[in-house]
Amino acid sequence: MTRLLTILVLIINISVFSQNKSVISGTIINKENQESLPFTSISLKNHSVGTISNENGVFDFYIPKSMRNDTLVISFIGFNSYEIPVSSAKSELKINLQPSNNVLDEVIISSLNPLDYIKKALENIEDNYPQNPYQTLAYYREKFIENGAIINKEEAVFKTYYPSSTDSAKNQHQLLLYKPEENPQQFQFMREWFEKKQDKRRKKAIKKGGDFEEEEFNSDIDMDLGGPESVINLDINNSKERGNYLKPKHFSKYEYTFGEETSLNGEVLISVNFKAKKKIEYQKDWGKILIHKDTYAIVLIEETGKFSIPFIIKPILFTVGLKIGNPTFSKVIQYQKYNNIWYPKLFRWDAKINLTKRNTFDANENSEINIGQVFSINEINSDAKLIPTEKLFKSDKEMENQEFNDINISWDIINVIKD
């Protein structure tokens, strides 16, 4: 009887633990071809809380206990949304989203050309995006990968204060949590060249009977291209952060064409493609903008481009035997609708760089560098407060020295993007 009571207590405790562990995991795939849907939006219907899936459509979603009576909403542009009560959701979900091929039944005829839609979108910024101060809680991740190996990875949680649109002040960020990669790999590019060069110096010193002082290979190469602030401030509600394709002074330097119309949660989105006619400030970019048909809200921007190595630097690289393939980059700026206002949902910035060290007698050395940054909004709060000056995040200082967790949150309640 004692053993039976012990087992029953254990079962009850496990049951209570399961009920309190409000984490729903799942995989999101395209029902037609069974391919995963990367960076799908997972949110609650009646609360401004959500997350996104990873590159393979996999997610973990932590739901606060007070919100378990809500409904889970899964949405991806171009697909029918999926809803399920949180109370009915299993711990492991496999969600098949159906492409919304039949949503756009009627042909939309408009006298507006593609650039007109962009101008309308800019004219309606104040109607579509928050104009009053608000605050967000967001997950940040940066990866530095060389030839498939993770050289460095940093994760963080930011509290951000977004000022009123009439305020000239910038967004204010506070670093709440920081977590570096536990087992980072060493940067390998030019390491072999350095070691061979050092070995020659060693042999030469021994031959002459002199002392030899070992030098350590310096792998502390800053490749983050701006740190967190290069991605966490991409909000188009801030005119200074808009891409050239949204700046009137550069309109004549781009070609704008209509793409295929699509939908989000049953609402029609107009697709406008853009492509730079020539380089602007050492870069040439192209991509698409999805604009809400009725309100002209910009819902999504996907941008891809190439950087050019300045002419003045190329001779220097050639002299030391280095070659840098023109780096490519991509950006994603995505918004979510809450109370008929479009708030930031996801900011992504990725870059790819190919490095080559040309050797006279040995084989050339190559490295493929991939840098990925993501800023995913977990929660939106209209009760916004200015961040104290002493707690403001500074991009020119190390992240690990700037944690101010004054709201006492922990990693287990943060919706991270799974590896």
> Which band of pLDDT confidence, cut at 50, 70 and 90, is reported for residue 92?
confident
Please indicate whether residue 185 or residue 19 has the higher confidence score (pLDDT). 185
Please indicate whether residue 3 or residue 246 has the higher confidence score (pLDDT). 246
Q: Per the structure, how many domains does the chain have? A: 2
Q: Using one digit for the tens of pLDDT, what is the confidence trace for 99-132? A: 987 544 444 556 889 999 999 999 999 999 998 9
- Within-domain flag for 105: no
Question: Which stretch of DSSP H or E encloses residue 315?
Answer: helix 314-319
pTM of the model: 0.82
* Burial grade of 21 (CB within 10 A; 0-12, 13-18, 19 or more): exposed
Closest by Cα among 213, 197, 193, 217 to 205 = 213
For 123, half-sphere exposure in the C-beta direction (CA atoms, 13 angstrom radius) is 8
Residues 52 and 135 in one domain: no
- Within-domain flag for 104: no
Does 222 score more than 50 pLDDT?
A: no
Q: Using one digit for the tens of pLDDT, what is the confidence trace for 361-377? A: 667 777 788 888 999 99
CATH code where residue 8 lies: 2.60.40.1120
- Within-domain flag for 103: no
Residues 187 and 336 in one domain: yes
Q: Using one digit for the tens of pLDDT, what is the confidence trace for 385-409? A: 999 999 999 988 888 889 999 999 9
- Within-domain flag for 42: yes
* Cα(141)–Cα(136) distance, integer angstroms: 16
> Which band of pLDDT confidence, cut at 50, 70 and 90, is reported for residue 316?
very low
What are the φ and ψ backbone dihedral angles of 19, each rounded to 5 degrees? -70, -35
- Within-domain flag for 416: no
Structural domain boundaries enclosing 91: 2-97
Residues 285 and 348 in one domain: yes
Residues 251 and 174 in one domain: yes
Average pLDDT value for the chain: 82
- Within-domain flag for 40: yes
- Look at residues 62, 97, 132 and tell me which one is the last residue of a structural domain: 97
> Which band of pLDDT confidence, cut at 50, 70 and 90, is reported for residue 214?
low
Please indicate whether residue 251 or residue 365 has the higher confidence score (pLDDT). 251
- Within-domain flag for 256: yes
Residues 390 and 255 in one domain: yes
Closest by Cα among 169, 3, 23 to 90 = 23
Q: Angle 402-385-172 (CA atoms, 0-180°, nearest 5)?
A: 45
Residues 69 and 129 in one domain: no
> Which band of pLDDT confidence, cut at 50, 70 and 90, is reported for residue 18?
very low
Residues 118 and 93 in one domain: no
- Within-domain flag for 278: yes
Token match 């031959």: residue?
207
> Which band of pLDDT confidence, cut at 50, 70 and 90, is reported for residue 312?
very low
Residues 317 and 287 in one domain: yes
Name beta bridge partners: 280: 283
